[in-house]
């Protein structure tokens, strides 16, 4: 794991992890949806230039950052990272990277939502580049094999992909991401036949008001981190096309079935897959920097 290690800040900033945890707890108390927001931020960060907090950098007059790309316009939770960073800078200036804050905060939020606790190896450093043109993330309308290409390019397996998409157990999606499945699916004039009719009706009710609202991706236990998502997609209740395809495609359906029937297996695998994702192309040693302000390169 390229010099990352559990307890990296034990001597340089002993309270690092508890400071991040306190900031996450405070936000979670008033906003349970922060778990889904952080999972998405972490994923979107790691899939572009690796887990280097390049997603946090603001655009300048000279360059447009990753934040401005289409898929990142609905990423949120930045102010929580800022708050944790500010608290850390008071106690141990220029020691804890923004990349580690994202990784730790995501883990803490998963635990608060009832998900698995796991040790996060730390020691990442922050990137110095953020470019809107480098954002190329797998979208919700891809097939399983198309989406898998992105994961495979990052060294992740099909099992990792199906596991990580289980994070949708606490997620939401804007209607614009799935409305094509509700009425005129692929020009047929009818809803997507792979979606449960009751769910079609429910989602039409949510999406009918024209302001692009959001719907829960797990319509059962929407704020609880559990394996219910897999049971739902097996019952044709996947909201986004890619979620439903996981249950229907022979490349992934076996993994979905295992997770649907074994909650502990999913918890164990999710913890492992998150640690693996958090190690994608990390900067360590003297590479990159430790940003003082997560939004700006030093």
Catalytic site residues?
Answer: 44
What is the greatest pairwise CA distance in the chain? 63
Q: Any residues with CB less than 8 A from the CB of 210 and at least 6 apart, and which? A: none
Is 221 annotated to bind a ligand? Reply is: yes
Q: Per the annotation, does 169 bind a ligand?
A: yes
For 149-154, the CB contacts below 8 A with 24+ separation are 150/47, 154/46, 154/47, 154/277, 154/280, 154/281
> Would you say how long the chain is, in residues?
298
**Residue 52 in marked binding region:** yes
CA dihedral 182, 255, 226, 246 (to 10 degrees): -10
Residue 191 among known ligand-binding residues: no
**Residues 229 and 169 sit within 8 Å (Cβ to Cβ):** yes
Is 50 annotated to bind ligand? yes
CA distance 244 to 191: 14
Cα–Cα dist 95/89, whole Å: 8
Instruction: Determine if residue 59 is labeled as part of a ligand binding site.
Output: no
Distance CA 69, CA 134 (A): 9
> Structure tokens of 262?
């074994």
Q: Which residues are annotated as a binding site for substrate?
A: 138
Q: Which residues are annotated as a binding site for Ca(2+)?
A: 45, 48, 50, 52, 54, 66, 169, 218, 221, 226
Q: Which residues are annotated as a binding site?
A: 45, 48, 50, 52, 54, 66, 138, 168-169, 218, 221, 226
Q: Which residues are annotated as a binding site for heme b?
A: 168
């Amino acid at each position: 794991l390229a010099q990352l290690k559990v307890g990296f800040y034990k001597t340089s900033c002993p309270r690092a992890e508890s400071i991040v945890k306190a900031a996450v707890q405070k936000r979670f108390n008033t906003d349970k949806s922060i778990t889904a927001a952080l999972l998405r931020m972490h994923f979107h960060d790691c899939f572009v230039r690796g887990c280097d907090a390049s997603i946090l950098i603001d655009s300048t007059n000279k360059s447009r950052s990753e934040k401005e790309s289409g898929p990142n316009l609905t990423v949120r939770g930045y102010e929580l990272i800022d708050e944790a960073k500010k608290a850390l800078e008071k106690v141990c200036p220029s020691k804890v990277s923004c990349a580690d804050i994202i990784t730790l905060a995501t883990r803490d939020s998963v635990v608060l939502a009832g998900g698995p606790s796991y040790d996060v190896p730390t020691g990442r450093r922050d990137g110095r580049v953020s470019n809107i043109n480098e954002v190329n993330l797998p979208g919700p309308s891809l097939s399983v094999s198309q989406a898998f290409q992105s994961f495979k390019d990052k060294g992740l397996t099909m099992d990792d992909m199906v596991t990580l998409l289980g994070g949708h157990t606490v997620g939401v999606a804007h209607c614009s991401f799935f409305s094509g499945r509700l009425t005129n699916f692929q020009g047929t004039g009818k809803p997507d036949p792979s979606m449960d009719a009751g769910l079609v009706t429910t989602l039409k009710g949510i999406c009918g008001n024209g302001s692009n609202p959001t719907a829960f991706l797990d319509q059962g236990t929407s704020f609880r981190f559990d394996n219910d998502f897999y049971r739902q997609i097996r019952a044709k209740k996947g909201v986004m096309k890619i979620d439903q395809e996981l249950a229907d495609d022979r490349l992934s359906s076996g993994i979905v079935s295992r997770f649907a029937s074994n909650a502990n297996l999913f918890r164990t695998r999710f913890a492992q897959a998150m640690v693996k994702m958090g190690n994608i192309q990390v900067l360590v040693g003297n590479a990159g920097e430790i940003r003082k302000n997560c939004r700006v390169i030093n």
